[in-house]
Chain A
Amino acid sequence: MSADFAAALLATDGRCPPGLTCWNGSAPEKRFAVYRNNVVVGLVDALADSFPVTQTLVGEDFFRAMAREFVRRTPPRSPVLALYGEGFAEFVEGFPPAAGLPYLADVARLELLRVRSFHAADARPVTQQHLDRLLADQAALPQARFALHPALFVLTSAHAVVSLWAAHQSESAALQLAGLDTTQAEAALVCRHQLEVGIYRIGPGAAGFITALQQDANLSAAAEQALTTDADVDLTATLGLLLQAGAIVGITHPRRTHP
């Protein structure tokens, strides 16, 4: 019985499942439509909440029509809707009517990372004491490994994904859109410091460095990775950003380990 009901919820032909009755003999289709509308509109609303810039870029009508297609193909598999939207960027990427906006999928990827960062586990940044001790042991520094915050993500894009996102964060910023070269490759650092998710535009070398650290490379190997990606990478600035954002939450060291 639920199978018919469930199938009709996502159907596009306005049908309703068999076996429904109404006390006054009215058409069950109209009453059943309340459920269909709740389900589909509720899920589209959830996507609109998670992907606000994606929506603004294409307009509400287009976004909702596109999101409806996604909802019907990919209903949630979990009752926890906070992270609903995994796979949406990939869907957008292959959605022909959006093909004229090659950057759109990466904007959606960035927005999903923002949601994931918002809800990711908490972690305390390492203390100044830990950092001082690490710095004091200069010979061991290249072998040090950093545990990064669970709410930290790096996205590299062939498009100006951070600039596009940032241009939608305030009224005055919207003016930046006009002169924006969307084909400029950009990388984003997404991380949560205390209660706020920050999105930073970082260079390709910084992205390589942070990604290497995230994959448990030691400081020396991560630096090498960064320099291979971009010979002009500014490691001081990148490390400064990580420290300032509270993104380093653990240090493992050849000789001692800090939580």
Chain B
Amino acid sequence: MIPRDTPARRATAARPRSLPARAGIGLKPEHFRAILQTRPDLGFVEIHAENYMVAGGPFHHWLTRIRERYPLSIHGVGLSIGGEDPLDETHLDRLAALLDRYQPESFSEHLAWSSHGGNFYNDLLPVAYDKTTLARVCEHIDRIQERLGRRMLLENPATYVEFAASTLSEAEFISEVVRRCDCGLLLDVNNVHVSCTNHGRDARDFLASLPLAAVGQIHLAGFASEVDSLGAPLLIDSHGAPVAEVVWALYRHALDRIGPTPTLIERDNDIPALPVLLAEAHHADRILEGLLPVVAESAVS
């Protein structure tokens, strides 16, 4: 696997290694033992940073052993980068300590907020795409990258509403953040599909307007389908189902433009047995290796 020479890769070259352009899976406690016993052939594993911000115990025990054998991506869900509150420096300290301990090949966070007034809302909440928010998000990312001493990847969100206050499109907003902060982009292909469906946009047009040269990792997941008050599709980023065929097609479309990229299979709800996730990862690997014929796009869209 030859790493591409993208800005994201150049910036992470200072780290011991970078994630391979292969498929990985989210590491769940249900699978700790099975992974160590069966040692599956995986590109990497990814954890949610906050789950390991505890003093000791089994989580650290297992992660230490698994990390010795696999490249690691640490994915934060609690920094509230889009929040109006100042960045939580205590939380940033915890994060720095975790990264220091496990030396992950990649660190990523979300374009979203989750804390306000000191309360934590345990969801990735949407931001208005305006100049004020842009300045705040950039200030926060600058501080995070400075504190952690590394470049981070920012994930595009799955959203269910939009704001009247927005003056920029989501792609314009993300492009500007990536340009100003020199951070990378974590391209969540499922989120692209979910958000574009929820807001009546064309996913391929949207993808084309993102700063694809900055993509350092891809996320794939399953969604749930509902309808809004007018009966239009409202997709929920549930991480509770296999990756949908329409998302696999969009993934292939994205890879055509950016080349082989580390790809995570995310599953956080209704977690299946390890072999089921490995099969999905294997599917992504075959696409990455160019072994799967491209499905005619009309058949899936």
Contacts and interface: CB of A to CB of B under 8 A. Distances in A.
Find out whether A and B make contact in their complex, taking CB atoms under 8 A apart as touching: yes
Interface in A191-209: 192, 195
Contact of B160 (A35, A42, A83): A35
Interface stretch (A90-98, A116-124, A166-174, A226-234): A116-124
A81 B161 contact: no
A30 B128 CA distance: 19
Given A82-B54, A151-B57, A195-B58, A39 B161 contact: no
B160 A79 contact: no
Contacts of B113: 2
Given A23-B200, A80-B94, A6 B56 contact: no
B161 A75 contact: no
Nearest to B133: A1
Contacts of A78: 91, 120
Contacts, number: 143
30 contacts: A6-B116, A6-B117, A9-B121, A20-B161, A20-B162, A21-B164, A22-B228, A27-B229, A29-B229, A30-B234, A31-B160, A31-B161, A34-B234, A35-B123, A35-B126, A35-B161, A38-B123, A39-B121, A43-B122, A76-B122, A79-B91, A79-B114, A81-B50, A82-B50, A118-B57, A119-B56, A119-B59, A120-B57, A121-B55, A121-B56
A100 interface: no
Given A2-B83, A2-B113, A75-B120, A80 B54 contact: yes
A26 B164 contact: no
Nearest to A36: B123
Contacts of A123: 56
Q: Interface extent on A, as a size class?
A: 35 or more
A59 interface: no
Given A32-B160, A39-B122, A24 B228 contact: yes
Name the interface size band of chain B.
Answer: 35 or more
Contacts of A21: 161-164
Interface string B228-251: 111010101000000000000000
B122 A6 contact: no
A24 B230 contact: yes
B53 interface: yes
A150 B55 contact: yes
A151 to B, nearest CB: 7
Interface in B120-167: 120-123, 125-126, 128, 160-165
Interface of B (DSSP majority class): loop
Given A23-B199, A75-B121, A79-B91, A118 B51 contact: no
Interface in B147-202: 160-165, 198-201
B120 A26 contact: no
Contacts of B88: 79
B229 A30 contact: yes
A179 interface: no
Given A26-B229, A119-B59, A2 B84 contact: yes
Nearest to A195: B58
A99 B127 CA distance: 43
A6 B122 CA distance: 11
Nearest to A6: B116
Contacts of B61: 122, 195
Interface in A53-90: 75-83
Nearest to B121: A39
Contact of A75 (B51, B119, B160): B119
Given A22-B162, A77-B118, 18 more contacts: A6-B121, A19-B163, A20-B164, A24-B228, A31-B234, A35-B160, A39-B121, A39-B122, A75-B119, A75-B121, A79-B80, A80-B94, A118-B58, A119-B55, A119-B59, A122-B56, A123-B56, A150-B55
A82 B234 contact: no
B282 interface: no
Given A9-B121, A26-B232, A79 B163 contact: no
Contacts of A119: 54-57, 59
Report the 4 A-B pairs with minimum CB-CB distance, sorted nearest first: A79-B78, A119-B54, A122-B56, A27-B229
Interface in A1-24: 1-3, 5-6, 9, 19-24
B77 interface: yes
Contacts of A32: 160-161
Contacts of B78: 79-80
A34 B120 CA distance: 17
Contacts of B165: 1, 19
A142 interface: no
A93 to B, nearest CB: 23
